[in-house]
Structure 1
Amino acid sequence: MTTNTARTSSTRTGTAPTPATARTVLFDELGGPEVLRVEELPLPAPGPGEVLVRVEALGLNRAEALFRAGTYYYRPNLPASRLGYEAAGIVEAVGDGVRAHSPGDAVMTGPGIEMSAQGVYADRVVLPADSVVARPAGLDAVTAAATWLAYSTAYGGMLEAGGLRPGDHVVITAASSGVGIAALQTATRIGAVPIAVTRTGAKRRQLLDHGAALVVASDTEDVVEKVRRFTGGKGAELVFDAVGGAGLAELSGAATADGTVVVYGFLDASTPMQMPLNWPLTVRGYANSRLSEGAAGRRRVNAFIESGIRDGTFRPAVAEVFEGLERIGDAHRLLEANEHVGKVVVRVAP
């Protein structure tokens, strides 16, 4: 068995000693935000192929609320499960064999994380080096925490899985979410025409400001009718859906007959997914591991995100910032209220 001392001997660190513990968010049972607690846990030095990151900010994702409640596509290992995919921070130490990162590097997390064991809700976290990517120059920690998962999902789901091309129309559901905002900006960047679907008209102006060519309020407007009228009757070449459930079959009527529906989320986990009947429509499921599991995929998505940040076409939307890990429950309550536009962020350290 490898001892902590042996692991430290192969670790490159900065000038400060590696802390022995990390303040970490855990939960022991499934439930609402009230099950989350903060505990001091032992912090190992990074082993071969690992990095130690001092976390500055956390970006919250709906997947984490589902995971906490036990309705995500994989379940937490209880008790004392960790939580969280997305963080921005500074590399403090790297294990043997790590060449892509060095102490002092500003980074983001996201690829290939299993939340129970590697969840990033903490003030420091040890992760596989492949789960950490360089932070684009000039991006502060709060904005960086709202970037990687949203834009990588939009890129992978719409461009790689969905085949979105310049001139295509794309229907984007849950458009006010972090991924929804990233999808609007991604479609606009490549010359496609994004149609935002949101529950009410309260967020219409903000969605238009983020690039939507049309905003449809699904609670009061007929999504299929509005999309078909806007597209001259033909429908959209791509539907990029975060909801799934029983409404998927009806939503597919907004697509062209030979179009594509990409389902990347299941916000309606309470009802079975009903598949469209208007063949030859193509229906695909998308998980972000499609990109993050391979070096080539990570290289493509990281280059796409960095170029969009650099030229200013990608503007990550931060809805609200909570200060300190102790506010994680409040942050989850806002996340589940569905009243915000963009990402909810928790600042862990200045």
Structure 2
Amino acid sequence: MSEQSALTTAESVAALVAAHPQWLDDGRGVPTDPSPAATLIGTGESYAAWLVLSREFADLRAPQGPRAVVVRVPHSVDALPRPMSEEFAALVAAPEGIGPRPIHLATVADPLGAELGSQTSDTAYMVVEHVPGHPRPAAGWTDDLLATHAAQLVRLHERAYDGWGDVTATDRLEPRLSMVDTGEASMQWWSDQHPGLATAADVAALWPRVRALFAATEPQFERLERFALTHGDAALPNILVAGGQPRYVDWEWSSIGDPARDLAFIGGDVWLDPWYLRLGPERIERYLHAYVAAGGQGEPASLAARGRCWLVNEVFFLALHFRRRAEQGADPEYAERADTLLARLDAALA
């Protein structure tokens, strides 16, 4: 199979990895006869994720298990919210053990991606290390695990930047971040692209209160001078826990940005299973103090204020996204999720 063939079946993905056995070298060397097998393990909004295991006899008998990689194939390169090169560059920049180790990137019509990996004329894909573990249910998120998550984010946020922007453009970062501008830009996009969703009665009634929260917290963002590499979508499904240690997958929203965003996506006074935890003020305070105690920069009160804005921004526009998915014929549960998020947001901003 050529690398330009469509990667839509287990056989095609396995054949791709078979042609590149070096990708399976996890420190144990390159398998002589990997005989890879591929299994579809996830189909998200942007990517299909394939787990590829080496079936070499020695690997099947190894105490640590077979060598494995994950191949991420975008449904449509043109529809990706951010270029694949941004995600891959973030994985390159992230400290070891935070996310999957980046292995190979093949891009279509993306010069930055070609610099990081290789160019393909047809199907783009990304090969990364397989991260062991599973998302924890809400009941499994103890204060100890929240503190461990906070300490991992400290490691991710360790390097300081003097502005925010793309991971691949650290020489062109913006020095000031406005939450009002961020929210208004998103609302303008929805108004232009999906006016019926943006003008729905409950959405139109909530938006002034959402914007008022952003405006009231804007001084906290104006004082923000230290930025960091951020995952950008550290919600529960993207946090895999193994042996009590969290690691982060699906880095498509990564950027140089406000560390409070990563902290916020764990949940708060607006929640929805399985994405966001229901956390009261006391637990959030303990969580943020654990972050600062582990070496995280910032004051807990400012992190909490900015983080609440990020969570509100996320769930408000996620509700519109869920309604769009329902209109497109997705599971009716999407419409119910949207109603739940907006109702809880309405109560939180009362």
TM-score between both structures, scaled by the size of structure 2: 0.25
User: 1 or 2, which has the higher helix percentage?
Assistant: 2
**Structure with the bigger percentage of strand:** 1
Higher RCO (Cα < 8 Å, 6 or more apart)? 1
